[in-house]
Amino acid sequence: MEGIKVSFENEPYRDPDFIINHKAPFNAEPKPDVLVQSFITPTEKFYVRNHAPVPDICPTAYTLKIDGLVGQPLTLSLNDIKTKFEKVTITAHLQCAGNRRTAMSEYKKVKGVGWGIASLSNATWGGCRLRDVLLHAKIFSKESGANHAVFWGLDFGCPEDNGKPYGSSITVEKAMDIDGDVLLAYEMNGETINRDHGFPLRVVAPGIIGARSVKWLDKITISPHESESFFQRRDYKIFHNGVDWNNVEKYWDKTPSLQELSIQSAICVPAPNSALYLPFTITGYATSGGGRKIERVDVSLDGGETWDYAELLGEDKGVCTKYWGWTLFRYTITKLPQLEGKDSTKIKLVCRAWDLSSNTQPKDVKDIWNLRGVMNNCWHTVDVTILNQNKKSNL
């Protein structure tokens, strides 16, 4: 980042309970047990993933620019966005592609901000449809090359990209899909979106990795090509396990950039290495990409030899292919035969989710290991010790 000066003196107030993975730029996740306390994550607990200082944007001076392959380039004020287009509210989770990166690094070192299991959260988002704005701008047809909606943020100084603002793109197909629910959001959980999450306006591209939901949105360019940003062309790609820092350049262009999320689940309670008495309840989250609903979460108490179904707590949307929220799950253990006559026993809890398309999670991290440590969605395991209540006095 030579020659680029950025200041972190004007950062917003943050929840003191966050687990901070990187201080400046700010990257933080809630504690896992806090994460699964409610279906909608309270705004102050919602994970934050920034690549640069948080811009301080004057809402009355703010404008959104739309250009490129459109018949009518636009400059819209925040008031235009709020009054000219229908307001839509959706429930959607955002998840960083780096979620569970630390665990991938434990197998073999990867590069990137270390994240535990909580770099995802679930919120309601209010705003207008990106589709409506692009129709207003008279977006060209796909035949004319209108393939990608390229977003730029107003956060300058991303060290990875030589100080340029953060940028990313999604396909026009997703942007224009009436069922795709891509929003330009000015509200989060019923309130004005706050600075950390993109005030005054951000993209919410549900079902897609968090990296594409560009915050502090400055400009949208309709282009034949994907965003030229580092975060589209270099980062957020899954390379095969033979790609390392000596040969990665050869693979940058031929490795697709990540869009839809894969299937994911993790146990948030109990914490690893807890000692517990029966009965106790396992709680966690499950998510999938592309609007695919979680149909089932399996829980194992023996490291994945045998399984049972967990109880699911999600949004009641019926059969649906645009399920953007997460699904929480819980499973209560009342009996453990191998505990009888013993003071304690160690068990390995495992979870794995299944979605509408019968996608499920890979067992081993080694099979999906990649240089940047993205999309770690292997089975999540938690080792715990179960103590025998009846032998309490012996301990």
Cα(128)–Cα(130) distance, rounded to whole angstroms? Answer: 6
- Using the contact rule CB under 6 A, the part of the chain among 49-57, 140-148, 303-311, 313-321 near ligand MTE is 49-57
Terminal CA-CA length for the chain: 56
* Partner touching 153 among Mo ion, ligand MTE, none, CB below 5 to 8 Å by kind: ligand MTE
Which does residue 18 touch among ligand MTE, Mo ion, none (CB within 5 to 8 A, set by kind)?
A: none
With CB under 6 A as the contact rule, the residue among 112, 127, 153, 200 that binds ligand MTE is: 153
DSSP assignments along 129-191, one per residue: EHHHHHHHTTBPPGGGT--EEEEEES----GGGTTPPPEEEEEHHHHH-TTT--EEEEEETTE
| Nearest residue (CB) to Mo ion, 94 versus 387 | 94
Cα–Cα distance measured from residue 6 to residue 341, given in angstroms and rounded to the nearest whole number: 62
Q: Which residues bind Mo ion (CB under 5 A)?
A: 49, 96, 210-211
Scanning 167-299, the segments in alpha helix (DSSP H) are 172-176, 230-233, 248-252
**DSSP secondary-structure letter at 178?**
T
> Which 166-195 residues touch ligand MTE, going by CB under 6 A?
166
Where helices occur in 163-316 by DSSP H, the ranges are 172-176, 230-233, 248-252
Closest CA to 357 of 264, 294, 299: 294
Q: The tokens of 58 are what?
A: 């004057």
Q: Does 259 bind ligand MTE (CB under 6 A)?
A: no
In total, the chain counts a number of residues equal to: 395
Please state the closest distance from residue 98 (CB atom) to Mo ion, in A: 6
Closest CA to 203 of 242, 230, 174: 174
| Nearest CA among 366, 379, 378, 388 for reference residue 303 | 379
48 binds, among Mo ion, ligand MTE, none (CB under 5 to 8 A by kind): ligand MTE
Q: How far is the CB of 119 from Mo ion (least distance, A)?
A: 7
Phi, psi of 34 (to 5 degrees): -70, -35
Q: Which is nearer to ligand MTE, 205 or 350 (CB)?
A: 205
Minimum CB distance to ligand MTE smaller for 51 or for 380: 51
The least CB distance from residue 322 to ligand MTE, in Å, is 20
User: Backbone phi, then psi, for 125, in 5-degree steps?
Assistant: -125, 135
Contact map string, positions 191 to 220, toward ligand MTE, x by CB under 6 A: ------x------------xx-xxxx----
Shortest distance (Å) from residue 300 CB to ligand MTE: 29
Determine the interface stretch with ligand MTE among 12-20, 44-52, 104-112, 220-228 (rule: CB under 6 A).
Answer: 44-52
Instruction: Choose the contact partner of 54 out of ligand MTE, Mo ion, none; CB within 5 to 8 A by kind.
Output: none
- The item of ligand MTE, Mo ion, none sharing an interface with residue 51, based on CB under 5 to 8 Å by kind, is ligand MTE
Q: Which of 18, 47, 125, 326 binds ligand MTE (CB under 6 A)?
A: 47
Single out the residue of 45, 49, 219, 380 in contact with ligand MTE (rule: CB under 6 A).
49
Say if CB 208 and CB 261 are below 8 A apart.
Answer: yes
Least CB distance to ligand MTE at residue 285 (A): 15
The CA distances from residue 302 to 338, 378, 383, in Å, are 11, 16, 10
Angstrom CA distances, 123 to 126, 217, 387, stand at 10, 19, 37
Q: Least distance in Å: CB of 125 to Mo ion?
A: 17
Taking the CA atoms of 296, 41, 128 and 52 in sequence, report the sign of the dihedral they define. negative
| Position 26 contacts ligand MTE (CB under 6 A) | no
Q: CB under 8 Å to 275, separation ≥6 — which residues?
A: 344, 384, 385, 386, 387
Closer Cβ to Mo ion, 118 or 211, answer by number: 211
Q: Which residues bind ligand MTE (CB under 6 A)?
A: 46-51, 94, 96, 153, 155, 166, 197, 210-211, 213-216
